[in-house]
């Protein structure tokens, strides 16, 4: 059976998969049940801005099997560009939902990353909620911008010893996406996906924004209020660059259309 190819929409110079949350779950099930090996990126506005300034990162996102739309602002942008997306799929929503799906289907998974103790705490929570769930590994590497060759090999060995269906990686973007990309060929998994802070949020260690803020596209603002020093640059200096990129895309394609008539 051939791997399902998902339709993708271009935002700036990054392709985003046109799938909603339920479709993503179905696609993941298909990948695992048919023995495929895929790389999945969860892409918010900031990652698109970074990819516009970094060819290597752009290559990572555009060569991934699935690139998920992380955030309501990207839905607005896609609509503005005339190529609407069918839904947003955040790591915070997908992670707990697909963990439950893994339990129902008997799929195994490995938790890699987050702060020391978070993965173990999460494993304990999941095992209480879903008796018999197949969590085959948990590991939190020591913090580093780039891991040593020894540390990388240690992680690969741990993962390959248990061959999980899903490798969840919580190392923040784009670090998690780079790590998966650089070691993907060596990993014995079906799905490798980076989900940012989803471990902490799912474990209840970090509070998520109220649902009305999520729907209104204000989840980023809630996060900023919680960690203003750390996130000021990301949300108020970097993220606004998306406006220029999108307007450039919109009006260069508009000019092309006019010149063709």
Residue range 6-44, pLDDT digits in tens: 899 999 999 999 999 999 999 999 999 999 999 999 999
Report the alpha-carbon distance of residue 45 to residue 65 in Å, rounded.
19
Share of the chain above pLDDT 90, in %: 89
Local confidence band at 5 (pLDDT 50, 70, 90 cut-offs): confident
pLDDT band, residue 260 (cuts 50/70/90): very low
Q: What is the pLDDT of residue 257?
A: 53
**Six token digits for residue 206:** 């970090």
Are the C-beta atoms of 177 and 41 separated by less than 8 Å?
Answer: yes
Rounded CA gap, 54 and 172, in Å? Answer: 17
Q: What is the pLDDT of residues 50-90, one digit of tens each?
A: 999 999 999 999 999 999 999 999 999 999 999 999 999 99
Q: What percent of the chain has pLDDT over 70?
A: 95
Q: Looking at the DSSP assignment, which residues form a beta bridge with residue 15?
A: 10
Burial class (CB in 10 A: 0-12, 13-18, 19+), 251: exposed
Question: Residues 6 or more apart from 148 whose CB is under 8 A from it?
Answer: none
The domain ranges of the chain are 8-245
Q: Where are the alpha helices (DSSP H) in the chain?
A: 21-33, 45-53, 55-62, 72-80, 91-105, 118-129, 149-162, 175-183, 198-202, 211-215, 219-226, 228-232, 241-260
Q: How many CA atoms, within 13 angstroms, populate the side-chain half-sphere of residue 114?
A: 26
The pTM of the full predicted model, rounded to 2 decimals, is 0.94
Q: Which two tokens stand for residue 225?
A: 């209020």
| pLDDT (mean) for 128-155 | 96
Q: What is the pLDDT confidence band of residue 210, given thresholds at 50, 70 and 90?
A: very high
């Amino acid at each position: 059976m051939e791997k399902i190819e998902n339709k993708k929409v271009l935002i700036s110079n990054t392709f985003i998969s046109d799938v909603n949350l339920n479709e993503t779950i179905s696609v993941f099930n298909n990948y695992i049940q048919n023995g495929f090996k895929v790389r999945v990126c969860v892409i918010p506005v900031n990652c698109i801005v970074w990819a516009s300034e970094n060819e290597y990162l752009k290559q990572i996102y555009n060569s991934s099997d699935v690139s998920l739309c992380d955030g309501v602002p990207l839905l607005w942008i896609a609509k503005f560009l005339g190529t609407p997306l069918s839904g947003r799929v955040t790591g915070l929503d997908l992670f707990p939902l697909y963990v439950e799906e893994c339990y129902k289907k008997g799929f195994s998974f490995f938790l890699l990353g987050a702060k020391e103790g978070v993965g173990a705490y999460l494993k304990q929570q999941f095992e209480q909620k879903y008796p018999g769930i197949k969590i085959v590994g948990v590991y939190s590497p020591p913090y580093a911008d780039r891991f040593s060759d020894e540390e990388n090999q240690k992680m690969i060995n741990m993962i390959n010893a248990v061959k999980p269906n899903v490798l969840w990686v919580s190392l923040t973007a784009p670090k998690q996406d780079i790590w998966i990309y650089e070691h993907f060929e060596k990993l014995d998994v079906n799905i490798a996906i980076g989900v940012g802070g989803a471990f902490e949020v799912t474990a209840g260690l970090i509070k998520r924004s109220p649902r009305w803020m999520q729907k209104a596209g204000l989840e980023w603002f809630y996060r900023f209020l919680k960690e203003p020093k750390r996130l000021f640059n990301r949300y108020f200096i970097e993220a606004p660059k998306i406006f220029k990129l999108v307007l450039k895309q919109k009006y260069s394609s508009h000019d092309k259309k006019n010149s063709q008539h």
